Amino acid sequence: MKVNLYLSVIPEALIASHLAPLEFGNYYAVGSQKRSRGQAVFFEVDPAFTSDYLRLAEAEKRCVPHEDGSPRRSSYLSIYRALEHVPLSALGKLYLSTDDGRVIGLEAASYTPATAAGLHLYQEICPVTPRVTSKLAPHEFAAYITDRTNPVSVEKIVFTELRLEGLATDPEKGSAANLPYANMDHLRDCLKELGNRFAKSTKVVARDTSAAILYRTVLGGFYVADRTGMLYYPMPSREQLENEYHVWWRSALTTWVA
């Protein structure tokens, strides 16, 4: 059986599996007995990549069929600093699973910075999980957070931008209709602070948030970055979600995250 490699970022882990991506996403979200549930966000990984840190040689040894011949669903190779040690060049499609096991795959695409001015709200996903407001566009935020000369930085990060609607341009009076975030007054205050010309470029809204993502709040897509560059995985348009990915989208809309 073919051994596939997956880099999970909720939670962080490098996993070998005989399952194809959609099957793995379903299994990882709900388990084999359908008694547990939780979102899964993971990358396909090129099985040919090499690492001095990760024990990749063990994948073939450990990911073997069960005695009855059934496929090995998951064999963990690492649960610590896995993201940091998988190069951007080894990452394939990004898969998003809802908490009831519906899965879609996103292809990396070229990134073009938006021209519209406004503030941003980022959900860091891995290896840290704060929710952060920022003056910086996604590519600028990625460069900032992976700059190890900064006192607060990481080697590599996966994050997404969340919708702010009217708050992006008017934190005090802008409309927050349909925004599901907890403590909206605090969010407005954080955004207003960024308007001060002496303010830092980022402001933490919540230091520790749920690992789950309310997919309907995602603006643009998902990003993975380190000092060498950034990969961008755009979300399908609302029209595509409602027509081409209707089953996944309907499931995603039922998930609630504060």
Amino acid 31: pLDDT: 82
- Interval 227-252 mean pLDDT: 96
pLDDT of residue 252 exceeding 60, the answer is yes
Report the share of the chain in percent with pLDDT over 90: 77
Pairing of strands 75-78, 103-106: unpaired
pLDDT digits (tens, 9 = 90+) for 145-175: 999 999 889 999 999 999 999 999 999 999 9
Under 8 Å CB-to-CB from 68, ≥6 apart: which residues? none
pLDDT digits (tens, 9 = 90+) for 111-130: 998 877 899 999 999 999 99
Amino acid 69: pLDDT: 84
Mean pLDDT of the residues in the chain? 92
pLDDT of residue 258 exceeding 50, the answer is no
pLDDT of residue 34 exceeding 80, the answer is no
Region of 218 on the Ramachandran plot (φ > 0 left; ψ -120 to 50 alpha; else beta): beta
pLDDT of residue 256 exceeding 60, the answer is no
Amino acid 43: pLDDT: 98
CA atoms in the 13 A half-sphere facing the CB of 198: 0
pLDDT of residue 197 exceeding 80, the answer is no
pLDDT of residue 235 exceeding 90, the answer is yes
Domain boundaries, the chain: 4-106, 120-253
**DSSP codes of every residue in 140-199:** HHHHHHT-TTSSS--SEEEEEEE--GGGGT-TTTS--TT---S-HHHHHHHHHHHTSTTS
pLDDT of residue 254 exceeding 90, the answer is no
